[in-house]
């Protein structure tokens, strides 16, 4: 079977972008609609694969290209290599747009003969030589691999010789000199003469574009954007039109709406008498599109009309490349515009209002991941800040912290409870633990796809990279930027949304939902079936997440309340107590505090369910660090030997020694699999009893005040139904006691987390006692993979993901094939016992779109995620349902 190697733009049969690439598909579509597109043809992605396998263009392909060229000759009345000469561009075009990643050659078909024909035809020698020198330069760079700088240097030298500043001022004679020297350079670099035969040029250029699919830039881009490597690129060969043919010619790029703010109105820029990349190259300053209205009113009017036609046709904002040749407008490219999250939301809503798309389409237009950009705290726009430099905005959000120059320093400072910004020239996989420890990352080198940028985005941490103004002296641990010296421990702030680097702390403002985003999310709510709750441990987070649309709290971690600085001494006293009375006393102190916590959260969520998880981590997490205690003991012992009579030292030493003994008692080799969760609740029932009492007392109090608290008690880490049964007996006892003490009728469902495989496997038994399930997929992932999350991420997981052993970090994206099976099976078995068992998920995955899709497909009732991800989860749940 012979493959079809060539599709004319005017052959309407196939418009699939996986065959023709995005650019080719749109060129064909615009041609079909009758828009002014210069004639040409596309070689499909299959040709790229064939080229890769053969290592060259086959005769088959060459024949097809030659035939297609004669069709273009016929359509244009020009001749490739003849008179008037047909010139073409050879353009890459991948199925998923990868702007600027691959290469294009313009003015192909020029040689010493055709350049004369072109000069004659146009009556403009200068123009013809300008095209020729551009062609040799682009071909030399893209096809022959000679760095563009080498050509630029020659051009600069000739300009200096001619005493002119701009390319436009060079005469035809000057340009002939440039061309001559270019050819000498090519001969010297490649050992061959510059190819004069147009078809040789064409086949070589096509081959180079196919090969550019695998250039390192393109590969990295694909990795970052999760574009499959096996798609391949198409090649477009298109008749040249000339924006450099005098002052009634020009070239430009435009968006049909503002891609950064989303405001209505065509947005873009153009250059008169210019070609191709001149607009973006920054050599001359382009004019805003609005200016075209004065310069060429008719062209402007036509252009605006074309923009509207394109938007109506594609039903989305377009990113357009155009060229004006002697007052005639041509479209060279259109595609759905990339846009900021803010613009995406605004435009989706506008298009619904304008009747272009329906609500469902609008909801699907915004990628839930994109919302993340809008939901980070930002630097207060009104704040006075000292900006000392700007780098690339590599990962959104703002971060402040103390400067650390090494990953180890960052990790150490973090251990001491400091907030850290890791400042490096660049990062490598060895720095992962430092990146994990840091609030944000700042590098002086590397682009948007550098290691730091990629990893930071993956972890959702702010990152500014490639900040040229930053000079780091790693040996001295000092950095200089904008005339300021930064030493280790100094405070610095970064703004990952703008790339700003700021000295000192900055005031942050909470993200807010814009009017448009609220509207879009309301539409999403109409489509979604999954409930969305928040993980919140305090009244502020509860209120915030309610404002973001959360329908309750899916996970309230009570240990976070124990960690508050005023609580720690009481919690320690409780843990260290050596008599029942001493313990009682500490618990009595904690009870009103916990009751206050629950009161606040239940009030903030009044009328909505709040799932409160009883204490989960091992007790030693509340005690001082073992190594530090040992160090303290050693120091005190030394002091004591010097001052044997000092009572104060003796007392402190005794205290430390006791503490150390208790910490050693509680120490575990493997705390993640240790004495924690319901295991504590069963062996030390006092703590759970106190917590349950606090929940019921807060509930009774709120009810008496006329509120509608809806608490749910959740038991962590259950692996056997008997654990749950026993704890339920305890809970029931406390409930009855508080009922009779307060005279209030109390009811509260009791459920469990499913976070060890045995719980999922025996879900039908556990559901006898559990009124609801919540999959704790963080722990379930740990216990299913047998990975300790905190260790794995820094040690091998990163490498696993980079190296492709795992496709995703399973702590970020739910492992559907493994952990997901347990979720599905647990849900199904649980519901066998209790058909309307309410099932949710409360791990990190509850705020991740692919995992949310899985939860929807598996029939869960709700997902619960951190407050800032609630909007994202609402949108993702709608996407899952549509
Ligand atoms: P990229 O994918 O990097 O945008 P393109 O293939 O779109 O590369 O080419 C870059 C630019 O070259 C276009 O924006 C346009 O200005 C110019 N160009 C490409 N083909 C032609 C053509 N046939 N006539 C005139 N200019 C062209
Ligand atoms: Mg382009
Ligand atoms: Mg857990």
The answer for residues whose C-beta is within 8 angstroms of residue 179's C-beta and 6 or more apart is 129, 132, 133, 136
Q: Which residue from 209, 323, 334 has its CB within 8 A of the most atoms of ligand 1, so it is best to mutate?
A: 323
Residue nearest to atom 3 of ligand 1 (CA): 100
Residue-wise pLDDT tens digits, 349-406: 999 999 999 999 999 999 998 898 788 888 887 888 889 999 988 888 899 999 999 9
* DSSP calls for 655-675: HHHHHHHHHHHH--S-GGGSS
Residue nearest to atom 16 of ligand 1 (CA): 276
* pLDDT attached to residue 251: 94
Residues within a 6 A CB radius of ligand 1: 38, 89, 91, 100, 104, 106, 238-241, 251, 276-277, 321, 323, 332-333
Please check if 778 is assigned to a binding site: yes
Residue nearest to atom 24 of ligand 1 (CA): 240
Is residue 175 predicted with pLDDT exceeding 70?
yes
- Spacing of C-alpha 645 from chain mean position: 62
Residue nearest to atom 1 of ligand 1 (CA): 100
Residue nearest to atom 23 of ligand 1 (CA): 240
- Could you give the CA distance from residue 442 to residue 470 in angstroms, rounded to a whole number? 9
Residue 104 Cα to ligand 1 middle (Å) = 7
DSSP bridge pairs for 8: 41
- Per-residue pLDDT band at 281 (split at 50, 70, 90): low
- Could you give the CA distance from residue 232 to residue 800 in angstroms, rounded to a whole number? 26
Is residue 692 predicted with pLDDT exceeding 90?
yes
Residues around the ion ligand 2 (C-beta < 5 A): 321, 333
Torsion sign over Cα 470, 474, 479, 480: negative
Residue 197 Cα to ligand 1 middle (Å) = 22
* pLDDT attached to residue 325: 97
Give the ligand 1 atom nearest the CA of 38: 23
- Could you give the CA distance from residue 152 to residue 159 in angstroms, rounded to a whole number? 10
Is residue 783 predicted with pLDDT exceeding 90?
yes
Is residue 683 predicted with pLDDT exceeding 90?
yes
Selecting among 132, 376, 451, 798, the annotated active-site residue is 451
CATH fold of 376-509 reads Glucose Oxidase; domain 1 (3.50.30)
For the residues 764-777, what does the mean pLDDT come to?
A: 97
- Which ligand gives the minimal distance to the CA of 88? 1
Residue-wise pLDDT tens digits, 199-233: 999 999 999 999 999 888 788 778 777 889 999 99
Query: In terms of Cα–Cα distance, which of 47, 50, 45 is closest to 24?
Result: 45
Residue 650 Cα to ligand 3 middle (Å) = 41
Query: In terms of Cα–Cα distance, which of 209, 53, 129, 56 is closest to 137?
Result: 129
Q: Does residue 565 have a cis peptide bond before it, meaning omega lies within 30 degrees of 0?
A: no
- Per-residue pLDDT band at 415 (split at 50, 70, 90): confident
- Could you give the CA distance from residue 320 to residue 175 in angstroms, rounded to a whole number? 31
Burial 433-470 (b: 16+ CB within 10 A, else e): bbbbbbbbbbbbbbebbbbbbbbbbbbbbbbbbbbeeb
For the residues 39-45, what does the mean pLDDT come to?
A: 96
Neighbours of 164 (CB within 10 A): 14
Is residue 280 predicted with pLDDT exceeding 90?
no
Neighbours of 192 (CB within 10 A): 9
Give the ligand 1 atom nearest the CA of 333: 7
- Could you give the CA distance from residue 880 to residue 874 in angstroms, rounded to a whole number? 10
Residue nearest to atom 10 of ligand 1 (CA): 276
* pLDDT attached to residue 116: 97
Residue 333 Cα to ligand 2 middle (Å) = 6
* pLDDT attached to residue 603: 98
- Per-residue pLDDT band at 630 (split at 50, 70, 90): very high
Torsion sign over Cα 293, 299, 303, 305: positive
Please check if 776 is assigned to a binding site: yes
Please check if 828 is assigned to a binding site: no
- Per-residue pLDDT band at 13 (split at 50, 70, 90): low
The answer for residues whose C-beta is within 8 angstroms of residue 176's C-beta and 6 or more apart is 129
The domain ranges of the chain are 7-239, 250-339, 376-509, 528-618+672-881, 626-667
Residue 318 Cα to ligand 1 middle (Å) = 16
- Per-residue pLDDT band at 670 (split at 50, 70, 90): confident
Residue 85 Cα to ligand 1 middle (Å) = 19
Is residue 282 predicted with pLDDT exceeding 60?
no
CATH tag, 528-618+672-881: 3.20.20.60
Selecting among 307, 842, 855, 865, the annotated active-site residue is 842
Residue nearest to atom 22 of ligand 1 (CA): 240
Residue nearest to atom 6 of ligand 1 (CA): 91
- Which ligand gives the minimal distance to the CA of 759? 3
Neighbours of 657 (CB within 10 A): 14
Q: What value, to the nearest 5°, has the Cα angle with vertex 531 and ends 530 and 533?
A: 140
* pLDDT attached to residue 183: 97
Residue-wise pLDDT tens digits, 305-330: 999 999 999 999 999 999 999 999 99
Q: How far is CA 53 from CA 5, 47, 219, 659, in A?
A: 15, 10, 18, 69
- Could you give the CA distance from residue 752 to residue 611 in angstroms, rounded to a whole number? 10
630: its two tokens: 């040992």
* pLDDT attached to residue 283: 63
Q: How far is CA 755 from CA 74, 442, 616, 715, in A?
A: 70, 37, 12, 11
Residue nearest to atom 20 of ligand 1 (CA): 89
Q: What value, to the nearest 5°, has the Cα angle with vertex 197 and ends 192 and 200?
A: 75
Please check if 779 is assigned to a binding site: yes
Q: Which residue from 17, 27, 72, 89 has its CB within 8 A of the most atoms of ligand 1, so it is best to mutate?
A: 89
Q: With beta carbons less than 8 A apart as the criterion, state whether 284 and 274 touch.
A: yes
Residue nearest to atom 15 of ligand 1 (CA): 276
ipTM of the complex: 0.95
For the residues 752-778, what does the mean pLDDT come to?
A: 97
- Spacing of C-alpha 622 from chain mean position: 35
Q: With beta carbons less than 8 A apart as the criterion, state whether 602 and 698 touch.
A: yes
* pLDDT attached to residue 276: 82
Please check if 557 is assigned to a binding site: yes
Helix, strand, or coil (residue 329)? strand
* pLDDT attached to residue 101: 72
CATH tag, 7-239: 3.30.1490.20
Residue 58 Cα to ligand 3 middle (Å) = 59
Give the ligand 1 atom nearest the CA of 239: 23
- Could you give the CA distance from residue 437 to residue 822 in angstroms, rounded to a whole number? 31
Give the ligand 1 atom nearest the CA of 101: 3
Residue nearest to atom 9 of ligand 1 (CA): 104
For the residues 816-838, what does the mean pLDDT come to?
A: 97
Q: Is 798 a catalytic residue?
A: no
Residue 843 Cα to ligand 3 middle (Å) = 8
Residue pointed to by tokens 């916590």:
597
Query: In terms of Cα–Cα distance, which of 847, 857, 789 is closest to 821?
Result: 857
Highest mean pLDDT among 392-396, 478-482, 660-664, 818-822: 818-822
Residue 682 Cα to ligand 1 middle (Å) = 71
Give the ligand 1 atom nearest the CA of 100: 3
By DSSP bridging, strand 318-325 and strand 287-288 are: unpaired
Residue pointed to by tokens 């998920």:
841
* pLDDT attached to residue 381: 79
Helix, strand, or coil (residue 283)? coil
Considering the domain delimited by 250-339, tell me its CATH architecture. Answer: 2-Layer Sandwich (3.30)
487: its two tokens: 């030493």
Give the ligand 1 atom nearest the CA of 238: 23
Give the ligand 1 atom nearest the CA of 276: 16
For the residues 612-629, what does the mean pLDDT come to?
A: 89
- Could you give the CA distance from residue 237 to residue 208 in angstroms, rounded to a whole number? 13
By DSSP bridging, strand 471-473 and strand 463-465 are: unpaired
- Which ligand gives the minimal distance to the CA of 233? 1
Residue 786 Cα to ligand 1 middle (Å) = 52
Tell me which of 572 and 67 has the higher pLDDT: 67
- Which ligand gives the minimal distance to the CA of 330? 1
Is residue 585 predicted with pLDDT exceeding 60?
yes
For the chain, give the mean pLDDT.
92
Residue 307 Cα to ligand 2 middle (Å) = 16
* pLDDT attached to residue 14: 59
Specify the long-range contacts of residues 198-202, CB closer than 8 Å, at least 24 apart. Answer: 198/80, 198/81, 198/108, 198/109, 198/111, 198/114, 199/62, 199/66, 199/80, 199/81, 201/108, 201/109, 201/139, 202/65, 202/69, 202/80, 202/88, 202/90, 202/108, 202/109, 202/237
Q: How far is CA 235 from CA 36, 41, 48, 220, in A?
A: 20, 8, 8, 21
- Which ligand gives the minimal distance to the CA of 244? 1
Q: Which residue from 276, 278, 320 has its CB within 8 A of the most atoms of ligand 1, so it is best to mutate?
A: 276
877: its two tokens: 């749940």
- Which ligand gives the minimal distance to the CA of 106? 1
- Per-residue pLDDT band at 409 (split at 50, 70, 90): very high
* pLDDT attached to residue 449: 63
Give the ligand 1 atom nearest the CA of 102: 3
For the residues 45-66, what does the mean pLDDT come to?
A: 94
Percent of the chain with pLDDT over 70: 98
Residue-wise pLDDT tens digits, 548-581: 999 999 999 998 788 777 788 899 889 888 888 9
Q: Is 48 a catalytic residue?
A: no
């Amino acid at each position: 079977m012979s493959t079809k190697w060539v599709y004319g733009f005017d052959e309407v049969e196939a418009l699939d972008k996986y065959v023709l690439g995005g650019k080719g598909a749109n060129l064909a579509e615009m041609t079909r609609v009758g828009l002014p597109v210069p004639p040409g043809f596309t070689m499909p992605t299959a040709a790229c694969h064939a080229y890769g396998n053969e290592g060259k263009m086959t005769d088959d392909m060459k024949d097809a290209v030659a035939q297609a060229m004669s069709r273009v000759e016929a359509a244009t009345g020009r001749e490739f290599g003849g008179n008037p000469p047909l010139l073409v561009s050879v353009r890459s075009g991948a199925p998923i747009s990868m702007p600027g990643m691959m290469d294009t050659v313009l003015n192909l078909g020029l040689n010493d003969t055709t350049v004369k024909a072109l000069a004659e035809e146009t009556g403009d020698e200068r123009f013809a030589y300008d095209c020729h020198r551009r062609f040799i330069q682009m071909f030399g760079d893209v096809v022959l691999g000679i760095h563009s700088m080498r050509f630029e240097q020659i051009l600069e030298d000739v300009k200096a010789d001619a005493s002119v500043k701009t390319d436009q001022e060079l005469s035809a004679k000057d340009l002939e000199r440039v061309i001559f020297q270019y050819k000498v350079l090519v001969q010297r670099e490649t050992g061959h003469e510059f190819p004069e035969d147009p078809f040789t040029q064409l086949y070589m250029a096509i081959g180079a574009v196919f090969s550019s699919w695998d250039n390192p830039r393109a590969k990295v881009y694909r990795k970052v954007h999760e574009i499959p490597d096996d798609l391949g690129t198409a090649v477009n060969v298109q008749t040249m039109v000339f924006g450099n043919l005098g002052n009634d010619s020009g070239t430009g790029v435009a968006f049909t709406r503002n891609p950064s703010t989303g405001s209505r109105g065509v947005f873009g820029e153009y250059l008169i008498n210019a070609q191709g990349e001149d607009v973006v190259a920054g050599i001359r300053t382009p004019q805003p599109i609005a200016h075209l209205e004065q310069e060429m009113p008719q062209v402007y009017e036509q252009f605006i009309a074309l923009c509207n036609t394109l938007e109506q046709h594609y039903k989305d904002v377009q990113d357009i490349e155009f060229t004006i040749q002697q007052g005639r407008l041509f479209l060279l490219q259109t595609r759905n515009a990339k846009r900021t999250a803010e613009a995406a939301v605004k435009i989706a809503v506008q298009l619904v209002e304008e009747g272009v798309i329906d609500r469902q389409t609008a909801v699907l237009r915004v990628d839930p991941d994109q919302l993340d950009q809008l939901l980070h705290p930002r630097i207060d726009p009104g704040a006075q800040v000292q900006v000392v430099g700007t780098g690339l905005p590599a990962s959104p959000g703002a971060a402040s912290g103390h400067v650390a120059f090494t990953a180890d320093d960052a990790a150490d400072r973090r251990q001491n409870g400091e907030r850290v910004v890791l400042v490096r020239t660049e990062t490598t996989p060895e720095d992962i633990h430092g990146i994990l420890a840091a609030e944000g990352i700042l590098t002086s080198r590397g682009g948007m796809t550098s290691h730091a940028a990629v990893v930071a985005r993956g972890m959702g941490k702010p990152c500014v990279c490639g900040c040229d103004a930053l000079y780091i002296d790693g040996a001295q641990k000092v950095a200089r930027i904008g005339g300021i010296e930064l030493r280790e421990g100094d405070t610095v702030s970064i703004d990952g949304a703008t790339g700003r680097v700021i000295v000192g702390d900055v005031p942050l403002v909470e993200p807010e939902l814009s009017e448009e985003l609220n509207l879009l999310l309301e539409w999403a709510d109409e489509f979604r079936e999954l409930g969305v709750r928040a993980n919140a441990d305090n009244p502020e987070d509860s209120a915030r997440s309610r404002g973001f649309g959360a329908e309750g709290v899916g996970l309230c971690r009570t240990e976070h309340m124990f960690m508050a600085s005023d609580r720690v001494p009481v919690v320690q006293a409780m843990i260290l107590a050596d008599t029942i009375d001493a313990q009682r006393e500490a618990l009595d102190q904690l009870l009103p505090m916990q009751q206050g916590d629950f009161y606040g959260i239940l009030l903030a969520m009044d009328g909505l369910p709040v799932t409160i998880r009883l204490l989960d981590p091992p007790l030693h997490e509340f005690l001082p660090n073992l190594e530090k205690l040992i160090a303290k003991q050693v120091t005190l012992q030394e002091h004591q030997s010097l001052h044997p009579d000092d009572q104060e030292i003796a007392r402190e030493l005794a205290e430390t020694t006791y503490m150390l003994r208790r910490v050693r008692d509680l120490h575990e080799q493997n705390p993640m699999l240790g004495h924690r969760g319901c295991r504590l609740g069963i062996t030390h029932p006092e703590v759970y009893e106190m917590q349950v009492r606090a929940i019921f007392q807060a509930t009774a109090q709120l009810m008496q005040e006329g509120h509608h608290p809806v608490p749910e008690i959740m038991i962590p880490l259950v692996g056997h139904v008997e654990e749950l049964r026993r704890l339920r007996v305890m809970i029931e006892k406390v409930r009855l006691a508080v009922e009779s003490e307060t005279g209030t009728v109390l009811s509260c469902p009791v459920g469990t987390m499913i976070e060890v495989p045995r719980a999922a496997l025996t879900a039908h038994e556990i559901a006898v006692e559990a009124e609801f399930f919540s999959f704790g997929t963080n722990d379930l992932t740990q216990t299913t993979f047998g990975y300790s999350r905190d260790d794995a991420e820094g040690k091998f997981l990163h490498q696993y993901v980079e190296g492709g052993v795992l496709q995703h970090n399973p702590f970020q994206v739910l492992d559907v094939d493994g952990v997901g099976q347990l979720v599905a099976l647990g849900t199904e078995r649980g519901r066998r016992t209790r058909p309307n068992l309410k099932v949710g998920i409360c791990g990190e995955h509850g705020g991740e779109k692919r995992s949310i899709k899985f939860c929807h497909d598996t029939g869960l009732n709700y997902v619960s995620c951190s407050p800032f991800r609630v909007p994202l989860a609402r949108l993702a749940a709608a996407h899952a349902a549509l």
